Structure 1
Amino acid sequence: MASPAALAPPMIVSPPDYGLLTDLYQLTMVACYAGEGLDQRRASFELFARRLPQNYGYLVAMGLAQGLEYLSQLRFSEEQIAALQRTGLFTQAPEAFWELLRAGRFTGDVWAVPEGTVVFAQEPFLRVEAPLWQAQLVETYLLNTLNYQTLVATRAARLREVAGPAARLLEFGTRRAFSPQASLWAARAALAAGLDATSNVLAAAQLGQIPAGTMAHALVMAFSALEQGEEEAFAAFHRYFPGAALLIDTYDPVVAAARLAAQARPGQPPVAAVRLDSGDLAKVSQAVRHHLPQALIMASGDVDEYEITRLRRAGATIDGYGLGTKLVTGEPVNGVYKLVELDGTPVMKEASGKATYPGRKQIFRRYEGTQAVADRLGLMTEAPQPGERPLLQRVMHQGQPVFEVEPLGEIATRTAQSVAALPQAVRSIDQPPAYPVELSPDLQALTDSTRRPMAHPAPSPISSRRP
């Protein structure tokens, strides 16, 4: 008997793997810092987006919880250290480098805006203050989780904005997310930004949610292959899942809706929900509504905020949407992670088109009543002015989280309130104007004094628009 074929090792990520889940240059820089005696210098790095994606007026910060979990669990095992040594890349690395890895834990402080907070270009939504080697090493993972979850959360907030508060919005993106891990993060970010449920069963279980979904065309086609029809498929499905949504466009959705209506019997509940996945959704939904006036009509199929807007304008009678590809993919958030201070000395990058602002910063948001009217990007040493609220809060101190894990419902409420506080024009999905963000005089003065002679000037005032 032939032996079974060997399987590839599973490429999964768990907390024991966090040490090696980084870019090579983080480790080579740490080795250099250790060799030159710089590794314990106190460093501050800030994570921010250089610019907003095209036609985005804002971003919704998300992913902090997973970032803090990573920092809390970061370790290097002897097996991982041996794996690094086997690469042959570190033969000249100092012994101090290996000692750092063996004993290393994250011992720094983290400042961040709460998840669900709206931020704009050049505004730091997370800062790490730690020994230089630690602050450097964690860049890759923090950018990965915060960039991706911020992308999905922002898209989810835009979808909720155009669909309205009453629409039922379901996250269907697992099969299109960039990896199984990303599918979990996408589900979390979508729910935290205002969607109602996810079809991802594992994500729902881990988040304490109830998964939501319908059925696939395969069920109807399987019954048809056995010389039965849609009616038999629908009846069978409802025997085990009464009231579940029926996918009615495998063949002709209007004919299917008419048959479902004709089969209704007095005293029996009407069809509760149907889903449409193709065709002219506006016209088809109107015809289905005629036959099934009480049914919840869901739509899916590469739907995004622009398609929802078009459907609403076309008079579609759709009550909710299954959102997949366009929610969990798209133009990435251009988040970067840059050194801004070392041992109290402010530093800045001055490369043309990529200049950064020096020093540890705070975002001050000015309100008139409940409406946000402008932001001031200043230094952490500055005090808020009348009507302003500082947004960055300390969430980790000496390697220990200092805030309670927030329920998704609380984050979703913050997302809704944060977006609703913006001017209506900034919330537009079509060429939104820039929300006003200005540098404080102190930050401008620090930038001018830090800049090297003959260097290109940093942009000022800040623009949230994509160049």
Structure 2
Amino acid sequence: MTTLSDRELNLHPEDYSLLTDLYQLTMTACYAGEQIAQKTASFELFVRSLPNGFNYLIVMGLSQVLEYLTNFQFTDHQISTLKNTGIFDHADEQFWQLLKTGSFAGNVWAVPEGTAIFAHEPILRIEAPLWQAQIIETYLLNTINYQTLIATRAARIRDIAGEKATILEFGTRRAFSPQASLWAARAALAAGLNATSNVLAAIQLGEKPSGTMAHALVMALSALEGSEEQAFMAFHKYFPGAPLLIDTYDTIAAAEKLAVQVNCGNLQLSGVRLDSGDLVTLSQKVRSLLPNISIFASGDLDEWEIQRLIQQQAAIDSYGIGTKLVTGTPVNGVYKLVDIDGIPVMKESIGKFNYPGKKQIFRHFQADKFVFDTLGLTTDNYPDAQPLLKLMMENGKPLQTIESLAVIRERTRISVNSLPVQMRTLENPLPAKVEISPTLEKLTTETRRNIKK
């Protein structure tokens, strides 16, 4: 029989419950021993501050959270493996019974994927038995934090490049793991990018993968068959019209030779790709030689570089985004207890404050444009505002089918476009206005007073 230790270090759905930090399990054992494991707890996932240079976040990862919660359970083999560690030798028997019989039975309130949110606003809230809400923290933060980072960067890139530009996700080889590459591709497509080069991700998502070629093909065929031009013709024999990578040797010389073939009708060409050098100057020269051919740029691009290229009038139609999309400053989401058994709680550590109680985000619009948010309690009522958190799972059962990428992509587009231009600029953006409701202010004061007592 295959054991956990015999497997490759890959994630399988049946292992979801063990993908957690040890202290989630040791705290659960303590809860069980103290007879409070089944108390109803509410945890909220949010960020205290946005990553440097960001003025909003695009929520992403909820689909994977709901899948995880639906499959959450401990097998007999997993429980035996935990026992064999010796860590839980003093745990109460009730702890093992919880693991053996428990599956997620709580409620999930969440902001729909593709929605813009700001600091201190809950992305989701879990209302469940304390032990369940505790154990799932690690997986929720892992998927929400990473996919939200990718989605936000993708949305910013799309906003800068414009709706007409074709933008491809090229980050698989730079993502932090094979699993991360799949999540990155999904988040990027859901936030507005056109396609991914990740074949597995595209197929699993029902999309068509997209890409060009690498320098290795040009170098190999040039060396073996005589010239760069012959390499291009060989590639087109099997992929007619495909974009060609023209900066392996001399970009302009390659463009000149292609122009001759295109102009005399020997070559049908859809585009060329530039991956290095002065992209502004090179793209302009290539455009003069190949005026009707799409020019695709790649090479450590991000929203700042794309903005520079546009401002300097580079002749670029499409972009490939890799390293700087799937890496970079993390989204530092946190998951904090806000209510236990009906008692509001809060954390007041220096620099790590969070508001108590179960909360809702009320978004105020004027002519479909964002004006401000009110962060309030679920009991607040703002009839002219749109509440953002929706009930996504009730008593452990999802309430809706998984949304398509097209639906999430359109929500992202609408959400970003609803923000004022001053909030979307890369330089000195205007911060979002988020007000705290009077009832939340009052509850915070009362909870702080109770803590001091």
Query: What's the TM-score, normalizing by structure 2?
Result: 0.97
Partner of 1:431: 428
Map Cα deviations across residues 185-222 of structure 1 (whole Å, 9 max, x no partner). 00000000000000000000000000000000000110
State the Cα distance separating 1:452 from its structure 2 match.
Answer: 3.6
Q: CA deviation at 1:269?
A: 5.6
Correspondence 1:286 to 2:284:
yes
Equivalenced residue count is 448
Amino acid at match of 2:342: G
Aligned residue for 2:149? 151
Secondary structure in 1 matching 2:36? coil
Partner of 2:448: 451
CA distance in 2 between counterparts of 1:75 and 1:123 reads: 30
**CA–CA separation in structure 2 for the residues paired with 1:204 and 1:135:** 32
1:442 is matched with: 439
1:71-220 residue pairs with structure 2 within 5 A? 71-220=69-218
Residue aligning to 1:331? 329
Deviations 1:218-248 (A, max 9, x none): 0011012215211111111111111111000
**What is the CA–CA distance in structure 1 between the aligned matches of 2:332 and 2:49, rounded to whole Å?**
7
- Residue identity in the other structure for 1:101: L
The alignment status of 1:411 with 2:377, answered yes or no, reads no
Contact 2:169–2:185 (8 Å) recurs in 1: yes
Q: What is the deviation of 1:429?
A: 1.6
C-alpha distance in 1, partners of 2:348/2:254? 63
Q: Does the 8 A contact of 1:271 with 1:292 survive in 2?
A: no
Q: Distance in 2 between matches of 1:93 and 1:232?
A: 71
Task: For residue 173 of structure 2, give the secondary structure of its aligned residue in structure 1.
Answer: coil
Question: Matched residues in 2 for 1:430 and 1:192: separation?
Answer: 25
Task: Write the deviation string for residues 325-357 of structure 1: whole angstroms up to 9, x where unpaired.
Answer: 000011000100000001111000011111110
SS at match of 1:40: coil
Q: Flag the 1:389–1:52 CA change in 2: closer, same or farther, 3 A.
A: same
- 2:387 corresponds, among 387, 390, 403, to 390
Q: Distance in 1 between matches of 2:98 and 2:450?
A: 37
* Contact 2:364/2:386, CA 8 A, preserved across alignment: yes
Counterpart in 2 of 1:355? 353
Cα deviations across residues 147-173 of structure 1 (Å, max 9, x unaligned)? 000000000000001101111000000
Residues 268, 262 of structure 1: alpha-carbon distance in 2 compared, 3 angstrom cutoff: closer
**Which whole-Å CA distance do the structure 2 matches of 1:131 and 1:329 have between them?**
35
Structure 2 residue aligned with 1:224: 222
Amino acid at match of 2:389: L
- Separation in 2 of the partners of 1:453 and 1:26? 27
Deviations 1:289-342 (A, max 9, x none): 011111110000100001001111111000010000000011000100000001
CA deviation string 1:395-414 (max 9, x = no partner): 00000000121110110000
Residue of structure 2 equivalent to 1:255: 253
Alpha carbons of 1:393 and 1:453: their partners in 2 closer, same or farther (altered >3 Å)? closer
Give the distance between the partners of 2:117 and 2:266, measured in 1 at CA: 51
Q: RMSD in angstroms over aligned alpha carbons?
A: 1.3
Change in CA separation of 1:8 and 1:306 when aligned onto 2, cut-off 3 Å: farther
Q: CA deviation at 1:270?
A: 3.8
Give the AA of the match of 2:414: Q
The 5 A counterparts of 1:47-66 are: 47-66=45-64
Q: Is the 8 A contact 1:191 1:412 kept in 2?
A: yes
Contact 1:162 1:309 in 2 (8 A): yes
Q: 1:257-309, CA deviations, whole angstroms, 9 ceiling, x for partnerless residues?
A: 10001122545564211100000000000011011111110000100001001
SS at match of 1:432: coil
Separation in 2, partners of 1:384, 1:454: 30
Runs of 4+ residues over 3 Å off in structure 1: 265-270, 452-455
Superposed displacement of residue 87, structure 1:
1.3
Establish whether residue 68 from structure 1 lines up as the match of residue 66 from structure 2: yes
Match of 1:277? 275
Tell me the secondary structure at the aligned position of residue 280 of structure 2: helix
Which residue identity is paired with 1:410? Answer: V
- The amino acid that maps onto 1:432 is P
1:35/1:93 contact within 8 Å kept: yes
Match in the other structure for 1:464: none
Cα distance between partner residues in 2 of 1:255 and 1:82: 66
What amino acid is aligned across from residue 405 of structure 1 in structure 2? I
Q: 372, 378, 381: which is aligned to 1:380?
A: 378
8 Å Cα contact 1:56-1:431 kept in structure 2: no
Equivalent residue of 2:125, what SS?
strand
Secondary structure of the corresponding residue to residue 47 of structure 1: strand
8 Å CA contact 2:171–2:321 kept in 1: the answer is: yes
Distance 2:194 2:344 in 1: 44
User: When the two structures are superposed, what TM-score results if normalisation uses the length of structure 1?
Assistant: 0.94
Contact 1:270 1:294 in 2 (8 A): no
One-letter identity of the residue aligned with 1:348: M
User: Larger helix proportion, structure 1 or 2?
Assistant: 2
**Paired residue for 1:234?**
232
Per-residue deviation at 1:385? Answer: 3.6
Aligned partners of 1:140, 1:264: CA distance in 2, in Å?
A: 55
**1:442 partner letter:** T
User: d(CA) in 2 for partners of 1:313 and 1:122?
Assistant: 34
Distance in 2, Cα, partners of 1:353 & 1:450: 18
The letter for the 2-side match of 1:429 is L
Whole-angstrom CA distance in 1 between matches of 2:171 and 2:18: 28
Conservation of the 8 A alpha-carbon contact between 2:21 and 2:138? yes
Q: Secondary structure at the match of 2:43?
A: strand
Match of 1:302 in 2: 300
